[in-house]
Amino acid sequence: MAGNVVELTDATFEKEIEQAKGVCLVDFWAEWCAPCRMMATTVSALGDEVAGKVKVCKLDTDAHRETAAKFGITAIPTLIIFKDGQPVKRFVGVTSKEDLKAGLDAAMK
């Protein structure tokens, strides 16, 4: 992944997200998904913008089905904000950077 976005796998998800302190944003996506590709630029820009405050990550749902199933991902893109390892907000579909940032700001309070 480019810039400040971390690529997650089934093997790394627990350590990187569920055991993490603070706020994390996870983008559940797939290569074939056009809306997911649209969100890639937004997620990358947001990763740069919140670097040092929020961990921004991506998980390919085709390659890592176990984690996607665990969180009930039935539509992509789905972006979930986690705080101290727990999901606190979910966005399904193309979402504006402003809406994602507002969700992250609320989670950081």
Residues marked active site are found at: 33, 36
Cα 61 to Cα 40: distance, rounded to the nearest angstrom: 14
Sign of CA dihedral 48, 100, 86, 65: negative
H-helix or E-strand spanning residue 106: helix 97-108
Q: In this structure, what DSSP letter does residue 71 have?
A: T
